[in-house]
């Protein structure tokens, strides 16, 4: 069952990325599942069957980026958390082909890569685990803030 963007936008993005990779590796698996079939069709329409991300994921990331920017201006504790995480994110970005990616995208990529390492039962260094924990806390706060902004008032 598809994750809900309103419940946890960061998990929603990671779920979409995981489903994209799954469908690239096992396209025939979509045939027995309506949700996977719809995602596979979207990937085909958007021309991302080999690489790239669905517009759904891009839009959600953009919403998260906008919230991140507003929290940097409004919330001193949030700003301090991102400042603590920045050196590690800059190291991560420097190792990619897109060193100018946003901090939020870098956090999501880090979490996705750690998830993949765990699925492969590979070791995760204490340094990576520490950065992953910080990134998780930051994205959890962002997701909770997003949820509170998108839920209707009683």
Residues 59, 2: Cα–Cα separation, whole Å: 16
Is residue 153 pLDDT above 90, yes or no?
Answer: no
Residues comprising the chain, all counted = 154
For residue 152, pLDDT beyond 80: no
pLDDT of the residue at 34: 93
Q: What is the pTM of this model?
A: 0.93
pLDDT in tens, 64-99: 999 999 999 999 999 999 999 999 999 999 999 999
% pLDDT > 70, the chain: 97
Q: How confident is the model at residue 4 (pLDDT cuts 50, 70, 90)?
A: confident
């Amino acid at each position: 069952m598809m994750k809900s963007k309103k419940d946890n936008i960061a998990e929603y993005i990671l779920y979409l990325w995981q489903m994209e990779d799954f469908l690239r590796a096992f396209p025939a698996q979509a045939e027995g599942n309506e949700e996977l079939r719809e995602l596979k069709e979207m990937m085909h329409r958007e021309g991302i069957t080999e690489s790239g991300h669905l517009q759904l994921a891009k839009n959600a990331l953009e919403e998260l980026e906008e919230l991140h920017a507003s929290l940097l201006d409004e919330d001193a504790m949030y700003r301090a958390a991102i400042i603590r995480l920045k050196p590690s994110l800059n190291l991560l970005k420097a190792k990619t082909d897109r060193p100018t990616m946003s901090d939020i995208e870098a956090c999501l990529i880090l979490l996705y890569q750690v998830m993949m390492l765990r699925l492969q039962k590979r070791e995760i260094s204490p340094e990576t685990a520490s950065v992953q924990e910080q990134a998780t806390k930051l994205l959890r706060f962002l997701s909770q803030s997003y949820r509170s902004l998108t839920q209707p008032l009683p």
